[in-house]
Amino acid sequence: MFSKSSIIGVIGSGAMGSGIAQVAATANHSVKIFDSNPLALSKAENQLKASLAKLVEKQKIDSVKADQTVNNIQFSNNLSDLKDCDLIIEAIVENLAVKKDVFSQLGNICSDKCVFASNTSSLSIASIASACKDASRVLGIHFFNPATLMPLVEIIPGISSNQEIVYQCKLLVDSWGKQTVIAKDTPGFIVNRVARPFYSEALRIYEEGIADIPTIDWAMKEIGGFKMGPFELMDLIGHDVNYIVTETVWTQLYFDPKFKPALSQKRLLEGGLLGRKSGKGFYDYAENAKNPEPTKNLDLGKLIVSRILVMLINEAADTLYLKVANAADIDLAMTKGVNYPKGLLKWADEYGIPNVVKELNGLREFYEEDRYRMSPMLKQKFLTKTTFH
């Protein structure tokens, strides 16, 4: 269905759209990138050239390949220029009405053979596809930022998606050097669903006064083995993105208390303290700012890590139980999509499922909140004395 001669369209020239375009162009596809803002297009073109120049400087590619990649991309502010594309990947603002409007327009511009994909991180593929005349040719293809570096791509069939088209899209993205996983069309898909406790339980520990922000981050890095602490990562992602994803998942899952957002993060968003991009979030990024040092108490650190870890494992188990994805894809998604030190289901086996069950039961008994209910899948593994792998 797709070949090296397939033309790839990208809608949106922001960091994600430009990154996807670079990935496809590097794989020798002709790429057409659309943005309604000419200034944004010009900025994207300059950044692409600068990015490729750095790769040449670091000897990761040669100048011939860099020039070829640039020449493979056409920048346009006319949506009609995408009419001959074989696959179009939309990477614009996370707003359902805006996305549906774009997909509706594409249906009147492109051929009946063109496949439409959304790079949404949390919105319903079925809902986006409903704006198209032929929903069978619509799916989710979710890259992670930065798209040029992060290996994981989630492939999400909508309720009406043609399975052969989904399979062909998976093969195409695999041919771009990415590692793909298949996820059910549920809020947050795999990564943005399973990762929620990494943030929410850290926020809960902080709001309860059990530990401060630097201590929680220290524990998750030094004891847990994570590359970044949850508060560092929230500041890096930006609270205008991270909080909104949490709120979207929580709302779309009928206000499940497991995904309840935290007021402390909402206040940062309301105050415009978005993290690194605004100069201040949970940490102060001013040039001479002095942020507090962590309390390097090993027992406290272990308590923090175990509490966040068992909540992550519980969500990974529930994601498997609800058939959002298979066990291998869940573990691959968390290691390749967000750089976790281990797949969470493999980690559960190593940590000991009885230990996970004991800690979750303790949290549920103490707090008496549905937030800490155990996944039936985890309970089943415990009762049958089996493991995930």
The CA-atom distances, in angstroms, between 70 and each of 26, 44, 78, 367 are: 9, 11, 19, 56
Instruction: Find how far residue 292's CA is from the centre of its chain.
Output: 30
| Phi, psi dihedral angles at 189 (to 5 degrees) | 55, -130
CA–CA distance, 219 with 214 (Å, rounded to integer): 9
CA–CA distance, 160 with 162 (Å, rounded to integer): 7
SS (H, E, C) the chain: CCCCCCEEEEECCCHHHHHHHHHHHHCCCEEEEECCCHHHHHHHHHHHHHHHHHHHHCCCCCHHHHHHHHHCEEEECCHHHHCCCCEEEECCCCCHHHHHHHHHHHHHHCCCCCEEEECCCCCCHHHHHCCCCCHHHEEEEEECCCCCCCCEEEEEECCCCCHHHHHHHHHHHHHCCCEEEECCCCCCCCHHHHCHHHHHHHHHHHHCCCCCHHHHHHHHHHHCCCCCCHHHHHHHHCHHHHHHHHHHHHHHCCCCHHHCCCHHHHHHHHCCCCEHHHCECCCECCCCCCCCCCCCCHHHHHHHHHHHHHHHHHHHHHHHHCCCCCHHHHHHHHHHHCCCCCCHHHHHHHHCHHHHHHHHHHHHHHHCCHHHCCCHHHHHHHHHCCCCC
By annotation, the residues acting in catalysis are 121, 142, 154, 192
